[in-house]
Structure 1
């Protein structure tokens, strides 16, 4: 095609040039001959070549873009200067060609099109000011309405890429009033859907896409857009509609990975839609053996783990997820989400809190910082750090106090049983390690015996920290010399607040039953056995002073656990249970007034016990700070402090505007009781709804909207909140 155009140009241009010279073809002339000459020259030389350069650059950018199917696929490939680096020569060439039209063919009808090429190319290169300037020029000075609208579509995408959603929405509202041809209408719909998707308005985005699909031709790009629509339906909890679009992926010539992930996601939705469905025909074993899936084995195991969890087969689910993590290889993104799934199962279902914390920690080290889940995972990880510390103290002191209440003979027998259990576990671990080392040595010997096989000498030996078997052996040797030590700084220092490591061992093994005497290892009655026995017994609080210290440590940790449940983990039921335990076990606790107040805050308005805690606080601690806070909530006038509340609202709203959602939510919830009865109470409550939607996800957001409607039936913001309620009617998405 290019050769044809050049041939036509070579034959026709001399003729036009003669006519142009004889008639005075200035680029500012309005004569038909002059315009015809510049139209021809601009189109078949500068504009055409510039358009080809831009098309090649966009193809290279799409090829360089790496999809992350665990994340929400963007409907459009973002304008990213890093992605555009491989296409920089083509983009610079496109700018050069498009500039020729602007410099030498001002009266050409291709001037607007060339400015659009100029603007897009500069945006791809990260030259935002110049790119936006070129597009705005077309809108302000363009001669063709279709070209002006095409420039605005590109401008809207540029605003979305810069997260300037307000300006993007303004452009979208203008374009929605314009009569657009079919091609421009398709681009406008896709860009507007992209705007709402990036602004987390998934319901609006999929509604626009449903109108767009009839305008799209069958292609890999259409398959990709179907996948993005399905993902948004997943987040909205509309799994049947999601599966409809996952099927749409397979009908539009997807590449292998896109088709694979579409099938896996559709399968997960099928289990939700049909809990009793038979999955024996899925053929996971065949998938795992298929060489095309070697790089996707982690995702296959991950899906198998999710399906097993849905079927309440938790041990199988955990096993599959561990296999997924082990198979991840270079796919660190999938490994991060596998760790998150393992963390959630261990925390919510298995209540193995220490293990959950470790998985959250591992996920956080490899999860991209720009991932939507990063902030939530970071907050959960910090909360679990504190939670595990306090939970371990409570569990340890519980166990030690139970041991202290035994008679001397039973206590000695219990300690001996714990030592026996520890020795048996140690010997079994050593046996497994030795077997693994022997198996590895046998494999290495067999490989070394093969013809042409290089024999590794000491200088070529693999570094020990890369070898799991050697690492495990090293751990055994360390424990044999130093015992089970907590990973912490300054562990040699004496006089620390926490008990010795031996106390942790004792508490962890409290429920262990008496084991048969191991055939090898430390023998009962030996000097080392007696020393271990005495060390463990030393930490049992047998004296009054030790028992009182144990009680104090347990009381403080229980109180802290209740607050962690209430403020960090947002688990109100467990918070109430823990606060009640503090009051039951320690009726004279120094935290009683604060616990009364926290119980009042935590219980729902429908709970009859809520007012009981308020009355107890006002009667037992009438002069406390917490009593004054509750009194403020009971003051129905609330006008006196309205000036301060205005300033507080402005400060919190500024945090919201700056994206500090977690801090703003903590601030508003900490002071919410003081706003009760005031003129701005419902305004603070409405801002809280927005913040919950940003921080805690769709289920909490829906619940917060429902609570607002119930608590503020006469609020002036009720029409707005009801509109939000209608939009969130589909928002019970899967986690």
Structure 2
């Protein structure tokens, strides 16, 4: 018995490598610590799978995205997995599950976003393990970690290495999936699909084989290979996928079915309609309507497409992403096809509210929304201001009649819109009660929290946020606020529902007739203010049509209206130039009219010079427009006080683009950066040099204003504080010789000083002339390395008196000064203050 116990104890030793010891530790590790570590990994991956946001309108992700918020929900499982795997490693060192336990630790760290330690763990297994399969798995998981950590060069290096190794089937499958994940992140869909095609035969149903077939089909559909896409969608269905994936597979199959004849089109319609009628697809109705709309667009049935997009929106109960996409597609139809920008703007606004922030191209969608917002705002400004100007020409009785008619019309529109919204709300609510949400269609409404939440959501959508008070539907508060005497038409426009043309402040006729009346401009000043707004709006519309909407004809109409209605507008030269460019590009001889008018009436403007100068080609004009965009970008960083980035952008543009009339603006902005970051004297010097170099620039007057303001500021500061000089004197010095301008001694003094400096040839001294003010000039002798050398020269100069001041009919002032103090002296012109400083710190303070 004692011998048996000894053998058992010997077998339990973690250091032993005999058969008994290995069998014990392999068994104990596998069915204890290793078992629970593996279980935790599976639980974590299940959480990730449950929380994946499957956007079937885009190519599905191979692996779910991991964010820090989600990672915190399974942190306990992460810790327990690492703990259990560590036990297997520490207590069973000679078991075959040690490498696998390390790999579990690496995976747990990857899922917790601890990329650095995950990388180190996988590298350790690759370096220390004697099991090739374990090493290969660690390298393949290292590849994914590098991709998620965005270390793509390292990911490529791992790929290049692992391709040379001989892998088992499990690792081959994992490698193909991880490489496909890499190429999905890099958006290289050709390489992504080639890896998935290799992985698919190795997959089992539990690996998500149907999902991979679906992704392959999506990629082939994206790349335009509809036949291949159809084939893989069919394979996905054959794998018996879960219902949601099955539904989207059938939907996509309808999209890629070859439509060669009218019978094929009818067959595709039949498939889509059958999906719509299937009771199991109630929760997918919004998506089905969306796909029907896309199908009808491809067939050229725009009206049917619009109706189905609207049905998709009405059917979207909880799917904000799908609702946002339907709004977006309607906006694109009205923008790109119908050129109905007011309606497009309304749909883009709704799309931005519904779409998630991670939606593809969300930045460009927001940019178009902003452009449309500006467009509609200016359009409404013209409409509102023209209307109230017309009213100002009528008598009070006619005005009252017009306003009452307008208010009645708005009230009627409001009623009609309200009925429409109520019908829509009832349909939406009915859909919610009949959908597979678990909400019963019977029972008391307020006893059902889900129904109440839905009702609250619909109320806010229709009526907005309302305080809990009596008469909440009355409009007097909003309407008076939006139409008070201090409001602007822009304020009214911004409170306008573009889709139906009515103001959002539901105007009460009796209460707001006077408020509307007060908006009418009766005085000449008020009329001029309205005209100024119209003028600015036409100018803005011309540029929006030209550069944002790329509609040259409409841009020309806006600019022509501008110069016709406002012949004295300050923007006339630019408008003539734009008309010249537009009609020249359209090969319309009318461009000569605008060219001649610009050259004759505004010959000194930059626009006339652009036409007259043969060096300005169409390419330079394009460069000019690029520089405008670069300037906007640089100015954005300037306003954020990010001056290093601003300078980088400006220097790059100035160096790499040919100089145009717009370049001076970039140079001036660069000087403004100097004003924020450097000495004020350097700032003023650069401004004065800019004014000299760019006398004809449009921004030259502004530069002069900046220079004047800066000098005034320093002068006020000097008067308030007095001139303060720097007391640090251990630096380079000048000798300054000041004399009266009226003496006419400039040449004589310069020659005398040059002759005197000949005695000091070893110092390599230089002389220069400067004007100090209207009465005094000066000559500088530079440079002296330090205070001692400068003052020694000064003392010798005084004794020698090379100018022979006794024979000159002028006042003279001589002193030495540091470079820093010279900048202060030259800026302040305060000679008396420096002479006192010189007396104190040099004459009386010299060592």
Distance in 2 (CA, whole Å) between partners of 1:292 and 1:190 is 33
Query: Partner residue of 1:195?
Result: 182
1:391 correspondence with 2:382? no
Change over 3 Å in CA distance of 1:377–1:175 after alignment to 2: same
Change over 3 Å in CA distance of 1:181–1:604 after alignment to 2: farther
1:564 correspondence with 2:544? yes
1:341 correspondence with 2:329? yes
Distance in 1 (CA, whole Å) between partners of 2:499 and 2:116 is 63
Q: How does 1:418-497 map to 2 (within 5 A)?
A: 425=413, 482=476, 485=479, 490-491=481-482, 493-497=484-488
Query: Partner residue of 2:91?
Result: 104
SS at match of 1:106: coil
Distance in 2 (CA, whole Å) between partners of 1:433 and 1:158 is 51
SS at match of 2:167: coil
Change over 3 Å in CA distance of 1:189–1:588 after alignment to 2: farther
Query: Partner residue of 2:270?
Result: 282
Distance in 1 (CA, whole Å) between partners of 2:585 and 2:197 is 42
Distance in 1 (CA, whole Å) between partners of 2:655 and 2:109 is 53
CA shift, 1:587, in A, is: 6.2
Unaligned runs of 5+ in 2: 428-441, 502-507, 621-626, 661-847
Q: TM-score, normalised by structure 2?
A: 0.57
Query: Partner residue of 2:200?
Result: 213
Change over 3 Å in CA distance of 1:332–1:534 after alignment to 2: closer
Distance in 2 (CA, whole Å) between partners of 1:61 and 1:117 is 16
1:553 corresponds, among 533, 536, 556, to 533
The farther-off stretch of 83-92 and 368-377 is 83-92
Unaligned runs of 5+ in 1: 1-13, 440-451, 511-521, 639-644, 679-735
2:137 corresponds, among 134, 139, 150, to 150
Distance in 1 (CA, whole Å) between partners of 2:538 and 2:354 is 33
CA shift, 1:599, in A, is: 7.4
CA shift, 1:173, in A, is: 2.9
SS at match of 1:282: helix
CA shift, 1:153, in A, is: 1.6
**1:497-528: CA deviation from partner (whole Å, max 9, x where unpaired):** 438969x99x9999xxxxxxxxxxx9xxxx98
1:121 corresponds, among 104, 108, 127, to 108
SS at match of 2:270: coil
Change over 3 Å in CA distance of 1:44–1:559 after alignment to 2: same
The farther-off stretch of 113-122 and 389-398 is 389-398
**1:87-141: CA deviation from partner (whole Å, max 9, x where unpaired):** 5555444323321232133344432222101111222234333323211211222
Query: Partner residue of 1:700?
Result: none
For the pair shown, which has the larger CA radius of gyration, 1 or 2? 2
CA shift, 1:389, in A, is: 0.2
Question: 1:112, 1:142 within 8 Å by CA — same for their partners in 2?
Answer: yes
Query: Partner residue of 1:379?
Result: 367
Query: Partner residue of 1:327?
Result: 315
Distance in 2 (CA, whole Å) between partners of 1:62 and 1:172 is 26
CA shift, 1:151, in A, is: 1.0
1:261 correspondence with 2:248? yes
The farther-off stretch of 155-164 and 34-43 is 34-43
Question: 2:446, 2:452 within 8 Å by CA — same for their partners in 1?
Answer: no
Question: 1:419, 1:533 within 8 Å by CA — same for their partners in 2?
Answer: no
Change over 3 Å in CA distance of 1:498–1:43 after alignment to 2: closer
Question: 2:484, 2:515 within 8 Å by CA — same for their partners in 1?
Answer: no
1:675 correspondence with 2:675? no
Change over 3 Å in CA distance of 1:533–1:214 after alignment to 2: same
Distance in 1 (CA, whole Å) between partners of 2:15 and 2:73 is 38
RMSD: 5.9
Query: Partner residue of 2:676?
Result: none
CA shift, 1:256, in A, is: 0.9
Q: TM-score, normalised by structure 1?
A: 0.65
SS at match of 2:235: helix
CA shift, 1:381, in A, is: 2.1
CA shift, 1:257, in A, is: 0.9
Distance in 1 (CA, whole Å) between partners of 2:387 and 2:586 is 38
Query: Partner residue of 2:219?
Result: 232
Q: Which has the higher contact order (CA 8 A, sep 6+)?
A: 1
CA shift, 1:150, in A, is: 1.0
Query: Partner residue of 1:222?
Result: 209
CA shift, 1:297, in A, is: 1.8
Query: Partner residue of 2:489?
Result: 498
Distance in 2 (CA, whole Å) between partners of 1:509 and 1:331 is 25
Distance in 1 (CA, whole Å) between partners of 2:5 and 2:551 is 81
Query: Partner residue of 2:837?
Result: none
CA shift, 1:341, in A, is: 1.9
CA shift, 1:590, in A, is: 2.6
Distance in 1 (CA, whole Å) between partners of 2:266 and 2:377 is 43
